[in-house]
Structure 1
């Protein structure tokens, strides 16, 4: 079973309350399609918007995610950030992690990679880089990543109803992780919903949840929860 979770109520440092809408049936369409994201980032490039975060874009919350990732690493760790897009989480991880920690941001869209890398140009250490890669057919090898960070990739497959892609992605992530490695999954879904996804696809026998934190973002009209799961493959509980 999933572990008991922690749910603080957060505001930004400026006192501004944080609000982002939940996903709707409208924006569930085609989220698992590379063509969708190619068009999306081309549009963002045309509008000269250099960064975009899907359901969490508050600096304070992004910082907390990066700090959680840092707590799971040592200077010799290897961290893989999948589906990075043009998220400001790229900068947050870059700033938070040790310069000697290997940090690789990947995405399926070349425009997104180019834009994100451009923002960090001149500040990347030799161990921090970007790469074009698809988690469904990753070319990154296996078994040597200490932490895999996902903020939205798994949600794309879940909310598109693409169970086959979801199972493939989680299987590939599991293969990428080193012994006792951790998947940090930031999701728009709550604990019960995500547990249901894992049970429905018979993935509970492959993954455990030794701990989970849930960050609640409080909106003007309604509150919703953005959860941060720390997942390890079964057999890595010790």
Structure 2
């Protein structure tokens, strides 16, 4: 097999990313302390979460069909890797009409603490309620490049990555490879990994096809949302 030739470039999303007052585009997005500071910043108004790209509403039509086959007695396990303070996990938990067992992980303890407070209710907030009585949600600190402490092999039916691979790749290709390998390791038989990104298919697909040899790799176009086209890269596990 020919050696993979992949040029690390800045995702359009990351080039646009802004914090207040500085820009994320000029920093190493694989740095945990950068994200600790980012997630510690006050949020405007009463908005409790922050989403890259888009929110749950834009992708629920893609996600829910993957969840509806699970029996109530054993809800499908969903892992949101690099969840940050996104509303993806919480919305799945509170809005899915099907039972789900969701785990959100992030290497930033600040992000994880914030999401646990949101889940449990604090400072007068009401705890989150599941959309289905059999659903579960929790948040734990973990590095996307080493999911062993929280995710045994083959333990998740659905793995979600919304911008995390893009950020890890800014730290170099070895870290990006490790993250993808870990994501594939924790998928159950016939499980699905979905990478949400604004990176062009002509860049992402060749990388995934070579790294995910023996797996089925497909792509769906999303949007445009706010004038921007995004992509869902789906990898179907075959082990």
TM-score (norm 1): 0.75
Partner of residue 64, structure 2:
70
Q: Which has the higher contact order (CA 8 A, sep 6+)?
A: 1
- 1:2-41 per-residue CA deviation (whole Å, 9 max, x = no partner) reads xxxxxxxxxxxxxxxxxxx743296163111112111211
**Counterpart pick for 1:164 among 171, 174, 177:** 174
Contact 2:215 2:235 in 1 (8 A): yes
Per the alignment, in what secondary structure is the counterpart of residue 23 of structure 1? Answer: helix
Q: Distance in 2 between matches of 1:45 and 1:64?
A: 22
Contact 1:215 1:228 in 2 (8 A): yes
Structure 2: gaps spanning 5 or more residues: 1-11, 17-23, 121-126
Partner of residue 211, structure 2:
203
Contact 1:22 1:224 in 2 (8 A): no
Matches within 5 A, 1:80-229: 80-98=79-97, 100-121=99-120, 122-124=127-129, 127-138=136-147, 139=149, 140-158=151-169, 160=170, 162-198=172-208, 202-209=210-217, 211-219=218-226, 223-229=227-233
Pick which of 103-112 and 88-97 moved more: 88-97
Q: Distance in 2 between matches of 1:91 and 1:171?
A: 26
Matches within 5 A, 1:22-37: 22-24=13-15, 27=25, 29-37=27-35
* Aligned-CA RMSD value: 2.7
Provide closer, same or farther for how the CA distance between residues 107 and 206 of structure 1 changes in structure 2, counting only shifts above 3 A: farther
Provide closer, same or farther for how the CA distance between residues 124 and 28 of structure 1 changes in structure 2, counting only shifts above 3 A: farther
Contact 1:141 1:176 in 2 (8 A): yes
- 1:112-158 per-residue CA deviation (whole Å, 9 max, x = no partner) reads 11212222322255722111111211112111210001101111123
Structure 1: gaps spanning 5 or more residues: 1-20
- Give the Å deviation of 1:204: 4.4
